[in-house]
């Protein structure tokens, strides 16, 4: 078995699980009920893990996880995404919608 993904966020886990289900990738969840039964920990703090039952699915499954994680951080990605002004050739940061040099829209 191979560990695929771990998160304290049940919603993240659920999102990955439904993707894996859709692709019929076999997996199992560990610690799914950790903390819940005794009430010592809030359910959010119980880290859950997704494990691949069959490692031959790993490439496929890790694409699902990578795609999901990049969706979680769209802002950080676009900040690094510099663009070049077509008017004056100035380099601008991804956060800017207009050229800081000549104010031409991106």
Give residue for tokens 């663009």: 83
Please tell me whether residue 102 binds Zn ion under the rule CB under 5 A.
Answer: yes
Helix (H) or strand (E) holding 77, with range, is helix 74-79
Question: What binding mask, one character per residue, do residues 34-73 give for Zn ion by CB under 5 A, x or -?
Answer: ----------------------------------------
Q: Give the separation between CA 67 and CA 46, rounded to whole angstroms.
A: 24
- Please state the length of the chain: 106
Segment near Zn ion (CB under 5 A); pick from 7-15, 54-62, 75-83, 87-95: 87-95
- Residue nearer to Zn ion on the CB measure, 26 or 89: 89
Q: Who contacts 95 (Cβ-Cβ below 8 Å, separation ≥6)? A: 78, 79
List residues near Zn ion by CB under 5 A: 85, 87-88, 90, 99, 101-102, 104
């Amino acid at each position: 078995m191979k560990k695929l993904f771990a998160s304290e966020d049940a919603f993240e886990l659920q999102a990955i699980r439904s993707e894996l289900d859709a692709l019929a990738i076999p997996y199992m969840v560990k610690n799914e009920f950790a903390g819940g039964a005794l009430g010592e920990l809030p359910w959010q703090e119980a880290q859950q893990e997704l494990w691949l039952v069959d490692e031959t699915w790993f490439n496929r499954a890790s694409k699902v996880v990578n795609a999901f994680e990049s969706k979680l951080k769209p802002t950080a990605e676009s900040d690094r995404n510099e663009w070049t002004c077509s008017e004056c050739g100035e380099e601008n940061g991804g956060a800017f919608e207009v050229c800081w040099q000549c104010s031409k829209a991106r």
